[in-house]
Amino acid sequence: MAVLTGDLIDSRAMHDTEAFLACLKTLLAALGERYDAQVETFRGDGFQLVMRHAEPAFDCALALRAGLIAASPAGERWDARLALGIGRAESDAQVYGEAFVLSGQGLDGMKKDTFRLFSSVPQLLKYAELPTAFIEAIIERWTPVEAQTYYLHLTRGLDQRRIAEQLGKSRVTVTKALQRADARLVDRYLACAREWLKELDDA
């Protein structure tokens, strides 16, 4: 299973903290439904998504950050720190298991990082830890336009023509935004992550 624990970055320093929190809640509700995750919010700007099946966890993490950045008002950057814990699936009686502990303690221990993977499975860390650090660096460079374009690409599976129609932009503009967002590399990372997790399930 996978547990994604996070908190908003500098939420109290934003011009409209309530709008930031409202955006988070709306986004969490949408992603909870899409990725079959249980959602909980706490400590004001803290939150958690629990997925009984870990395969879509990386997609969910990137969609969350893309959605927040995309909604950023002029002059501000809305974003979140995320700790992704992946561990053994727990029984219904074991509410707080391995993935919860890894994710929660992982977030508490994060300093400058904004997206990290925590797992007790050495094979998964061997595959995913370094690529995840590169993806973190890519996300840090996203502008709201690039994040919005990638969010639609990831969560709705729209092609460039339909993204352009939805955003009221030209197809060329959308193509360039996806290129600047390194969309092909991010897509490859997510495809590999799903395959790594599938291999663990099959092992």
| Lookup: tokens for 82 | 């995320």
- CA–CA dist 93, 97 (Å, integer): 10
156-196 pLDDT, tens digit each = 988 999 999 999 999 999 999 999 999 999 999 999 999 98
The four Cα atoms 139, 141, 145, 149 give a dihedral, to 10 degrees, of -30
Number of domain units in the chain: 1
Q: Where are the alpha helices (DSSP H) in the chain?
A: 17-34, 57-70, 98-109, 122-141, 144-156, 160-167, 171-180, 183-202
| Angle between helix 17-34 and 144-156 (nearest 10) | 20
| Domain carrying residue 152 | 2-202
Q: Which residue has the tokens 């969490």?
A: 28
CA 193 to mean position of chain CA atoms: 13
DSSP state letters, 112-169: S-SEEEEES-HHHHHHHHHHHHHHHHHHHH--HHHHHHHHHHHHH---HHHHHHHHT-
List the CATH number of the domain containing 63: 3.30.70.1230
105-144 pLDDT, tens digit each = 999 999 889 999 999 889 999 999 999 999 999 999 999 9
21-37 pLDDT, tens digit each = 999 999 999 999 999 99
Residue 91 DSSP label: P
